[in-house]
Chains A and B, each alone.
Chain A
């Protein structure tokens, strides 16, 4: 059982507050992705779990042990670093065996495990090489093998794929996901790449300026962003946000259209809808918007069309055989059940 519990962890570097009171539980064997823009505190949080950084306040539990006062070696974790940190003076074999030797595993067992994990990561041909003789992708594989070989309860990965080129990254993504799914470890995986997060995670924890703003399944994060920030951060092209004037009784004026929304006191809310959740229709219905096409970007599988709706910008995804050109007027019908509402603080209004 290696459930990770982070209780009110805060971290200050001098005057900068890197983390504000973080609470997070990662279930046993779960693959949790910490997602957020650069500088939001992901690495700091991961390093606090690893024991490489000390939290200013708060507790970290792994299983039923409180670990925040323990040295990294006593926490039952393994870590994969962004720059791989493959020991340059040791062969690939010795790198993978390093952790096993430290815990005094028998030589025959070491050999077995090194070969097995190297096989898993397809580096069994490279065991006698040194890090200087490996490509970036191969080093990455060594780093993962080394972490897996110790059969840790918890694997922590800090942007492990960010130094690889796009193609290799996609390949490794799939491979890592299947290997980690088969092992019994709990994983915290840090990335700033939302595609990586969406495709790999059991659960995504989205961080923003030292807080976790939402921690839930990828679909849920995408469909029901807890805050305006999450909505704007996840999805490419990003979610549209349009001003909605409160008419009372749950009715709103959005870009000239009357729409039903939540009952709320504020005079104004924001309506959010994803570009693919807006249909361009021939006939004008109630609650539809009139948009003027500004830019058309053909992307092969679909068109990305940027419109202006009552002086506000709105992106729409259209089928690639629709014929539109800048200056055209289009009728836009948002899918009612996909529309979300946010208040002035950016919090979701139900």
Chain B
């Protein structure tokens, strides 16, 4: 076991996969000589050279399209979005070409590529650098969307994403890069399509992902003291959703609270609620509750920023309310 910071766990994943498969390469802004703005590609430029750790000009749409072309012709690109928000400029290449081209081409081409980088609401970075983009992308056919949340799953999931033959949007969170965890010394891969049961329980199912997992974990400490026993599930895969795990939990608890950092309107939670209604309506003892961040551009002011995203106290209150209304 080795204590590893999350950004280093990601770095190890990339390094191991580049060592294992020489068609894997990294491209993006400042990924090479500079080592990545969160140091996820530190020193890889020296190890693998300038073509395999390619510093690109600031041309998001074009270098994303270039990665699509490289993937179509047999390479396995990993794009680092310096900030995932910048990939708004690459929306066309991500949606039309990465996402849809396999289908549109009738299976002529596959597009094994990973688009990864920091997202989420951070330390007063202001609206543009504090985006919650996962919901923008969830409707695009052909994309897989994954959010990591711990050093362990960050490493194992990124390795799986690199090996996957489909385009994977891989969300990291700016505030989680310095999380520490003991990682196994042996190689491991974490499947992309499995949700993680963070804490088994019986009273209520809490579905969450990315940084909100940690807010939920904090809330659970308070809830435990009050004798409550929630089940916490980290979704991991935001698309497709792991309804095996979600469904099994609902059949046990019959109550669901979704805790997400993305916006409420058209969010990941909105999609989950609709799907739960489709699949498990009869299992529910209460309407699904969703705690999302506010439908506003993330404000700069610290207090307003805090108010924008869901806090542990709100999660605690929501769980208590739901359980108190027990039928």
Asked if chains A and B come from one complex, the reply is: no
